[in-house]
Amino acid sequence: MPLRSIKNSLKEKGVRLTRQRQILLDLIDSSGQHLDAEQLYKLARDKDPGINRVTVYRTLKLLKETGLVDELDLMHFEGDQHYYETRLKQEHAHVICLSCGKVEEFFGEPLYRLRHQVEKSLGYQVVIARTEIGGYCSHCRAVRARELEEARIGSPAQPEPKRRATTQR
Amino acid sequence: MPLRSIKNSLKEKGVRLTRQRQILLDLIDSSGQHLDAEQLYKLARDKDPGINRVTVYRTLKLLKETGLVDELDLMHFEGDQHYYETRLKQEHAHVICLSCGKVEEFFGEPLYRLRHQVEKSLGYQVVIARTEIGGYCSHCRAVRARELEEARIGSPAQPEPKRRATTQR
DNA sequence: TTTTTTGCAAACAGTTTGCAGCACA
DNA sequence: TGTGCTGCAAACTGTTTGCAAAAAA
């Protein structure tokens, strides 16, 4: 769903397209990342220094309730906040590396099968499906293997890998 | 994984099996439902009135970190708390009715396919997969359809269905 | 008898609410 | 020009932390 249809969709519902909402909608749509309320607030402040954190929360709630954005947890890797993305793409799962925090998206048939089977076998009308997968990405596994190898050859025990990504928050 | 192996698994890690932890483990394992921290706390209090809410949180954190229980959100239908279940069954998705709040479990092939495809195509070592699906169960859809029908025949507009289940919390 | 674990109190993060004034349609 | 929206302050929910006392191994 392109940004324009989101805006139209709101208009049709009698929801006013205020400056603040425009800014937030643009940010969510254009970022390409998964931003949380605080990040959105800070980015929005650059465009409108007077904007309030509460407005961000209210707007996110509105967009979520009207089904225009999806709320993600991303395995609570960083903390307990939520992340947002516009509902523009095909259905996808989010895959989070539990070592470095990287988030990847997975598109594929099993997601559709899952949805259809739930509709068929449980008799549901599915509205939203959220799949989050935690694991270790190939990069982190390689690093880990190398560390273990080095430890085996020479030096004493290595420290555990850090649980949180250091670049965020 | 039966309850006994969970307890053994803890012992092996040098984790002490205190009275409080026994109680909580038994509750999570035997309830058959998905309980949140507050519900567990209240149930645990019946067996040990001196138990503290903090101990519940600490125990849940421990069990989660050792991979013995899984944490669920259940689409945040009720609120922002988390729910817990022991990791004893096969992989399954949770399907939540957005009208009545009922939670069902879905077992099936697509979940395994999904996991394997993520491992293969993204090169991940998958540790945990969580799928939550929100929709409307057949019962609620039937009720809704009947309401609409009745409204069409006789009376003026009907009120919206309630968003939250009234039996919980 | 040493090391964990607990209970208590207090702090904390993330989010929501009540209300008066502002601004969009 | 009225109703919806915003900003502000304050509250609230769910969860975590520091510390001394209690209880496992």
pLDDT tens-place string over residues B52-85: 999 999 999 999 999 899 999 999 999 999 999 9
Q: What is the mean pLDDT of residues B139-154?
A: 84
* Footprint on protein of nucleic strand C, Cβ below 7 A: A 16-19, 36-38, 53-54, 57-58, 60-61, 79-82; B 14-16, 18, 20-21, 48, 50-52, 54-55, 58-59, 80
pTM: predicted TM-score of the whole model, two decimal places: 0.86
Q: Which of A5-9, A131-135, A145-149 has the lowest mean pLDDT?
A: A5-9
Answer whether residue A132 shows pLDDT above 90: yes
| CB proximity list for A49: less than 8 A, separation 6 or greater | none
Q: Which of residues 91-120 of B touch strand D (CB under 7 A)?
A: none
- Determine the residue of chain B that is closest to A95 in CA distance: B118
- For residue B164, give how far its alpha carbon lies from the nearest alpha carbon of chain A (Å): 14
- Contact flag A122-B95 (C-beta cutoff 8 Å): yes
- Angstrom distance (rounded) from CA B94 to CA B99: 15
**Within 10 A of B104 (CB to CB), how many other CB atoms are there?**
17
CA distances from B56 to B35, B42, B69, B80 (A): 12, 10, 13, 17
- Angstrom distance (rounded) from CA A137 to CA A96: 8
- Contact flag A93-B134 (C-beta cutoff 8 Å): no
Rounded to 5 degrees, φ, ψ at B128 are: -145, 140
Q: Which of A63-67, B103-107, B133-137 has the lowest mean pLDDT?
A: A63-67
The distance (Å) linking the CA of A154 with the C1' of D12 is 54
Q: What is the mean pLDDT of residues A40-46?
A: 97
Q: What is the pLDDT of residue B73?
A: 94
B108 touches chain A (CB under 8 A): yes
Q: How many CA atoms lie within 13 A of B153 on its CB side?
A: 6
CB A135 within 8 A of CB A95: yes
Q: What is the mean pLDDT of residues A75-95?
A: 92
Of A114, A135, A136, the CB nearest to B131: A114
Answer whether residue B144 shows pLDDT above 80: yes
Residue nearest to nucleotide C7 (CA to C1'): B52
- Contact flag B134-A115 (C-beta cutoff 8 Å): no
Report the nucleotide nearest the CA of residue B50, measured to C1': C7
User: Torsion-angle region of residue B101: left (phi > 0), alpha (psi -120 to 50) or beta?
Assistant: left
B155 touches chain A (CB under 8 A): no
B91 touches chain A (CB under 8 A): no
| Sign of the Cα pseudo-torsion (A10, B74, B10, B26, in order) | positive
Answer whether residue A127 shows pLDDT above 80: yes
CB B75 within 8 A of CB B97: no
- Determine the residue of chain B that is closest to A82 in CA distance: B80
Average pLDDT over chain B, rounded to whole? Answer: 87
Q: Give the tens place of pLDDT for each residue, B94-130.
A: 999 999 999 999 999 999 999 999 999 999 999 999 9
- Angstrom distance (rounded) from CA A69 to CA B68: 33
Interface test with B, best of A100, A109, A114 (most B CBs within 10 A): A114
Q: What is the mean pLDDT of residues B43-56?
A: 97
